[in-house]
């Protein structure tokens, strides 16, 4: 496919040596010819007009016209009256042309792909987002186009702090809030900052996210240790038995089991942090989506001086926006802000202002209400399909979020079920991948079924296709 440059005349980098014995016309011819032979200029690609190239090189237009005429005669260029000069389709190129990289094979089309942690991408409120961008752009002060505060836009920090106080019962101070590029960057900033304060070991929930947390901890120079989770959340007694002075938790809706940390566990965890001089990193993900229970406030509201709470719009809007925030303990806010500055100088301001406008206008809340209805319908479709096609499979973790845990029968080969389902064009994902290495082969066979980005019809069709596999041996 030839490149289609828009505009009056595309630029072309050529360099002339006016001290050389080689005539300027020959230099231009040689460099354009070489650019075509090496495929720097490709077949069908448009060249600058003779007038524009002459102006850029400081030559007379006649010299450039002569060059183009010579290259046309040699078969390198084609010109038509009233049309641009372009590289000829049959221009001479090396005998061994540049090999284009082989594109990756397209993934097979699935009846249903039960990936977890993926929201309804088709439900992204694009019209509302573009409207918010326009509104933010219209009122954008010129000064806001500078690098600005590495913590993020003061407008967004004020709006998000107010939103978190209202919806998540957070002790949110905009002065201690840092805007980041999603959860991954927030975790990286938190771990690197804690490492500089002397923390050398961070604990994490098991099951949880051992691969990503392990990689982030290693990058920060920390050791990562797993701590088991039960039906009440993180086992704080097991945590106290480790050397960790930091722990990563998902208390509102544990990933991936779906349990909410019990009130007494929350208090026990805060007491551990205060006693050890430790910090809790709270991943406050998908807390906006709940169905069969009252909303649960964030952990940070109980101990703002001991909890780093990270939130994002990756689940509520879309991962592609790469917008998140960190509620930082006052003692760490300056260090985290400095780390953010050194990382990328700050997040894109216009997107921040658009998000602020989306929240302020009420359109964000309206979107969340619409998504709760969508996910509730998909949850019902999942439970109904399992009740019909695999009635013996217990399902837990459905009180919030958009994934569930399916408990397979004793003796079931989890990986075997996943492979057999893939052969039937259904994507399944096992709990074993969420367990630490030491516990990966010991746990019961379970599946983490995401339904956020799977339509109701696809859920029904997918479960129908694999119901006998889930029923067990």
Task: Output b/e per residue, 385-414; b: 16+ Cβ within 10 A.
Answer: bbeebbeebebebbbbbbbbbbbbeeebeb
Same domain for 293 and 396? no
Same domain for 68 and 182? no
Same domain for 337 and 385? no
For residue range 290-340, list pLDDT tens digits in order: 877 777 899 999 999 999 999 999 999 999 999 999 999 999 999 999 999
Same domain for 354 and 378? no
145 within a domain of the structure (yes/no): yes
The pLDDT of residue 128: 98
In the chain, how many domains are there? 3
Same domain for 155 and 291? yes
2 within a domain of the structure (yes/no): no
267 within a domain of the structure (yes/no): yes
Same domain for 431 and 346? no
Q: Which residue has the tokens 């009256």?
A: 81
* CA dist., res. 434 & res. 404, Å (int): 14
Cα dist. 306→54, 229, 272, 375 in Å? 66, 21, 10, 33
Same domain for 210 and 356? yes
Same domain for 418 and 323? no
The pLDDT of residue 282: 98
Q: What is the CATH number of the domain that holds 81?
A: 1.10.10.10
Q: Which residue has the tokens 């089991």?
A: 257
The pLDDT of residue 1: 45
Same domain for 183 and 306? yes
Domain extent for 74: 24-87
Determine the 3-state secondary structure of 187 from DSSP. Answer: helix
Which regions in the chain score pLDDT beneath 70?
1-9, 91-100, 472-473
Alpha helix positions (H), 10-125: 24-37, 50-57, 61-73
Q: Which residue has the tokens 């106290």?
A: 240
Final residue of a structural domain among 302, 333, 361 = 361
pTM: 0.87
Structure tokens at 350: 């216009």
Same domain for 82 and 216? no
262 within a domain of the structure (yes/no): yes
Pairing between strand 307-312 and 279-283?
parallel
Q: Residues for the chain: how many in total?
A: 473
* R_g (Cα) of the chain, nearest Å: 29
Final residue of a structural domain among 309, 330, 361 = 361
Neighbour count for residue 366 (Cβ, 10 Å): 13
Determine the 3-state secondary structure of 178 from DSSP. Answer: strand
Same domain for 433 and 311? no
For residue range 37-96, list pLDDT tens digits in order: 998 998 889 899 999 999 999 999 999 999 999 999 999 999 877 778 999 987 656 545
The pLDDT of residue 83: 77
Same domain for 81 and 137? no
Contact predicate 246/218, CB 8 Å: no
Residues 411, 412, 413: CA angle, nearest 5 degrees:
115
């Amino acid at each position: 496919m030839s490149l289609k440059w828009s505009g009056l005349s595309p630029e072309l980098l050529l360099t002339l040596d006016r001290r050389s014995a080689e005539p300027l016309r020959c230099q231009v011819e040689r460099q354009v010819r070489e650019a075509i032979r090496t495929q720097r200029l490709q077949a069908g690609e448009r060249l600058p007009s003779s007038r524009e190239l002459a102006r850029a090189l400081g030559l007379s237009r006649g010299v450039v016209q002569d060059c183009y005429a010579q290259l046309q005669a040699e078969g390198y260029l084609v010109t038509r009256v009233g049309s641009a000069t372009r590289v000829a389709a049959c221009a001479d190129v090396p005998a061994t042309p540049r090999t284009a990289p082989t594109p990756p094979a397209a993934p097979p089309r699935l009846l249903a792909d039960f990936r977890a942690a993926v929201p309804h991408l088709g439900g992204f409120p694009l019209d509302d987002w573009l409207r918010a961008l326009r509104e933010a752009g219209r009122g954008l002060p010129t000064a806001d186009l500078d690098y600005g505060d590495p913590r993020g836009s003061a407008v967004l920090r004020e709006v998000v702090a107010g939103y978190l106080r209202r919806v998540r019962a957070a002790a949110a101070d905009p002065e201690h809030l840092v805007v980041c590029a999603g959860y991954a960057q927030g975790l990286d900033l938190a771990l690197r900052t804690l490492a500089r304060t002397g923390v050398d070991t961070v604990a994490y929930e098991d099951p949880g996210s051992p691969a990503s947390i392990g990689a982030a901890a290693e990058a920060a120079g920390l050791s990562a240790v797993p701590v088991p989770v039960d039906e009440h959340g993180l086992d704080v007694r097991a945590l106290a038995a480790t050397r960790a002075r930091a722990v990563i938790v998902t208390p509102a809706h544990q990933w991936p089991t779906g349990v909410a940390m019990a009130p007494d566990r929350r208090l026990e965890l805060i007491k551990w942090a205060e006693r050890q001089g430790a910090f809790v990193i709270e991943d406050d993900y998908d807390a906006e989506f709940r169905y069969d229970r009252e909303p649960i406030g964030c952990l940070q509201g109980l101990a703002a001086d001991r909890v780093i709470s990270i939130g994002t719009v990756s689940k509520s809007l879309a991962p592609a926006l790469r917008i998140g925030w960190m509620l930082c303990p006052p003692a760490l806010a300056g260090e985290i802000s400095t780390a953010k500055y050194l990382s990328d100088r700050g997040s894109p301001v216009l997107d921040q202002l658009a998000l602020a406008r989306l929240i302020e206008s009420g359109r964000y809340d309206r979107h969340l209400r619409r998504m709760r209805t969508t996910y509730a319908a998909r949850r019902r479709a999942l439970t109904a399909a399992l009740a019909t096609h695999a009635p013996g499979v217990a399902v837990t973790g459905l009180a919030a979020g958009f994934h569930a845990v399916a408990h397979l029968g004793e003796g079931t080969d989890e990986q075997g079920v996943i492979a057999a389902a893939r052969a039937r064009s259904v994507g399944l994902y096992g709990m074993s991948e969420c367990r630490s290495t030491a516990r990966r082969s010991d746990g019961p066979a379970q599946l983490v079924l995401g339904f956020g980005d799977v339509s109701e019809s696809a859920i029904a069709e997918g479960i129908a296709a694999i119901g006998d596999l889930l029923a067990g041996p």
